[in-house]
Structure 1
């Protein structure tokens, strides 16, 4: 299993309705895509930050390779140019059918600190009613990233967390 995400930073005056329309017209094209466990079409649309940041969980690398190298990723290249794709290893993947009810994703990124003895990873946000959640890590960068799929954003998290709007979820 692999996770991948590219975060396309857009100018602050970018019309995010272009991304909304793009996903409304094309998001369903990844429904049932080869080896795709889940793709969440995520955007951040604030006055100071505009971002398009799709998140993928792949069952096998063959589907991911097919997506990247057989013309599908070319749509990103032709619209947004060369993008760095972040790759991670899924540690915990809890994808419930209620993921389709989620409207937001809370993203929590943390360093994995140096240690003499490796121990398992855990989620760090408690008491948040989630529809699904995913924890991935990258040992090349020693970071972990938690994704919580939420119907609503708890007020306690609004000011401090990285929150994305979900436009579509493919499974």
Structure 2
């Protein structure tokens, strides 16, 4: 699994209905995309759920690097570039993926939590702990799925979860889920990924 996200921060007075309309009219285009486990069409609105900014920030869980590459070098990502400029694309190597207790429910909210991996950490023990976080999250009431991944360039861990209800406060960046494409979700390997 590969996790990927780009976050487009928008002006404070930006009409977020433009993003809602974009997702409503284009979101379905990846509903059958090869290699894609899950794409969560995420947005944040300034003043909602504690967000200081307006942002469009889709997050992807890829089953294959070929799928990710086909998207990045194809018309899907080019549409983002054409409309907003070329954003920085963050990506993380998957550590763990878990289906949640509310796996069949529609997604309403998402939480993204980033965690710095301290210098001198014993990596094999630490990644075991990080992978267990996905399992712990998946057992929470209302969780649809949970994933943990690491960027070994910056030594940052990503914890990501989708929720069937409002996300709990104070545990990370909260996003509204506008749509979810999940053509190969069932192919995402559950448990740790090494």
Length-normalised TM-score, structure 1? 0.90
Mapped to 1, the partners of 2:133 and 2:117 lie a distance apart of: 13
User: Aligned pair count?
Assistant: 169
8 Å CA contact 2:99, 2:146 repeated in 1: yes
| Structure 1 residue 159 displacement after superposition | 4.7
Q: Deviations over 1:108-159 (max 9, x none)?
A: 11111123532122318767321111111111111101112112235xx425
| Structure 1 residue 101 displacement after superposition | 1.9
Which consecutive residues of structure 2, in runs of 5 or more, have no partner in the other structure?
183-194
TM-aligned CA distance change 1:28 to 1:95, over 3 Å: farther
Which residue of structure 2 lines up, in the alignment, with residue 68 of structure 1? Answer: 72
Aligned residue for 1:153, secondary structure, equals coil
8 Å CA contact 2:111, 2:171 repeated in 1: no
Mapped to 2, the partners of 1:9 and 1:116 lie a distance apart of: 33
Mapped to 1, the partners of 2:9 and 2:79 lie a distance apart of: 16
Task: Indicate which of 117, 122, 129 corresponds to 2:122.
Answer: 117
Task: Indicate which of 92, 100, 109 corresponds to 1:104.
Answer: 109
Task: Indicate which of 115, 128, 132 corresponds to 2:140.
Answer: 128
Aligned residue for 2:75, secondary structure, equals coil
| Structure 1 residue 68 displacement after superposition | 0.9
Which consecutive residues of structure 1, in runs of 5 or more, have no partner in the other structure?
none
Larger % of strand: which?
A: 1
Which residue of structure 2 lines up, in the alignment, with residue 87 of structure 1? Answer: 91
Which residue of structure 2 lines up, in the alignment, with residue 12 of structure 1? Answer: 12
Which residue of structure 2 lines up, in the alignment, with residue 143 of structure 1? Answer: 156
Length-normalised TM-score, structure 2? 0.80
8 Å CA contact 1:100, 1:169 repeated in 2: no
